[in-house]
Amino acid sequence: MSEKAKKDELQKEENKSSGKPEELQTNVGGLRAVEMFYRGIREIESGSISFFKSKTRLNTPGLGTLAPENFRDVAEMSAQCLTLFDLELKQAIEAEKNFREREFIFRWISVYMPLKFLLERGAENRLLHTFEEAGLDTNRFCFELPAKLLTEGTSKHAQGILNLRNLGFHFMLTGFGGSDSPLMKLSEFPVDYVLLSKEITYYIGRSERSNAAIKSIIDFVSGLGADPIADGIQNAAQAETLFEANCEYICGPLAGKYTQERYIRKRNEGFLNSQ
């Protein structure tokens, strides 16, 4: 083993013992190690993009390109998830600026936040410093939290969310209403947006009873002071049913697919009628 390789191994061991994030390659085979893709979250009534939701793909030297479901849980077993968060946030900040330069009118852009970050000492100051350096308002970003917040989250996570919301940041719980998502636990976490699981929206329009059940979930989310966003919406009939149930925002095939920032196009008025 070369001297440099030995030093690298020693540094990894030191990082593990100290709890520091492991060093992550920023480029793999000419590609960014972390690649961000975006899709619009649209307002049903106007058809315009209100928010941008991000998704990350991880390029690795040995395993190729990994989707979130293939790397998130493993990364969150160590401090590597914090390194990933830093890289994702940096790219999302770049994308936010590019969208504004292209004259997109939107309220925020999202980026995934690992639950571990909410427990970090000085998390608020770190984020404030990052946004001050970038010259961005905190209310231009929404942090996505996984559905497991409802099963693994604690009062410390809830306080972390509240502290960051008081600084202007937004939070969106994803995958709400799925099989591993206890509804009543939502009341313990002060998120301001809730992304309804495809397991729920799949039932839109199937029967009067299923529509009534979906409306009751929308009312439940709204009653806790959060805005519901329906995921996986495929056609105008589903969107219209949701609008009648007082859900204002959708994402999914009807609203637009995930793509790189430079390929996002405006498609506003009449998008429901064009389907």
Question: Using 50, 70 and 90 to split pLDDT, how confident is the model at 103?
Answer: very high
Any domain includes 10 = no
70 and 78 in contact (C-beta within 8 Å)?
no
Min mean pLDDT across 150-159, 210-219, 253-262 is at 253-262
pLDDT at 23 over 70: no
Residues 185-219 have pLDDT tens digits of 999 999 999 999 999 999 999 999 999 999 999 99
| Token duo for residue 22 | 């492991």
Any domain includes 211 = yes
User: How many domains are there within the chain?
Assistant: 1
Can you tell me the distance from the alpha carbon of 237 to that of 233, in angstroms, rounded to the nearest whole number?
9
Taken in order 228, 229, 231, 233, is the CA torsion positive or negative?
Answer: positive
Q: Measure the CA dihedral 246/250/255/261, to 10°.
A: 140
pLDDT at 92 over 50: yes
pLDDT at 16 over 90: no
Question: Using 50, 70 and 90 to split pLDDT, how confident is the model at 272?
Answer: low
| DSSP letter, residue 20 | P
Please give the distance of CA 45 from its chain centroid, rounded to a whole number: 23
Can you tell me the distance from the alpha carbon of 216 to that of 221, in angstroms, rounded to the nearest whole number?
9
Q: What pLDDT score was predicted for residue 170? A: 98
Closest to 39 measured CA to CA, from 113, 118, 104, 115: 104
Any domain includes 212 = yes
pLDDT at 5 over 90: no
For residue 269, give the 3-state DSSP assignment: coil
For the segment 60-78, the average pLDDT, to the nearest whole number, is 88
Give the residue numbers spanning the domain of 165.
30-263
Any domain includes 18 = no
Any domain includes 108 = yes
233 and 250 in contact (C-beta within 8 Å)?
yes
Any domain includes 2 = no
Q: Of 196 and 265, which is predicted with more confidence?
A: 196
Any domain includes 17 = no
Any domain includes 274 = no
Q: Beta strands 141-145 and 108-112: pairing type?
A: parallel
Q: Of 256 and 5, which is predicted with more confidence?
A: 256
Query: What are the b/e assignments for 143-175, b being 16+ CB within 10 Å?
Result: bbbbbebbeebeeebbebbeebbeeebbbbbbb
Question: How many other CB atoms sit within 10 Å of the CB of residue 26?
Answer: 11
Query: What are the b/e assignments for 62-82, b being 16+ CB within 10 Å?
Result: eeeebeeeebbeebbeebbbb
What CATH number does residue 257 fall under? 3.20.20.450
Please give the distance of CA 106 from its chain centroid, rounded to a whole number: 16
Whose structure tokens read 């330069």?
101
| Token duo for residue 232 | 């996986």
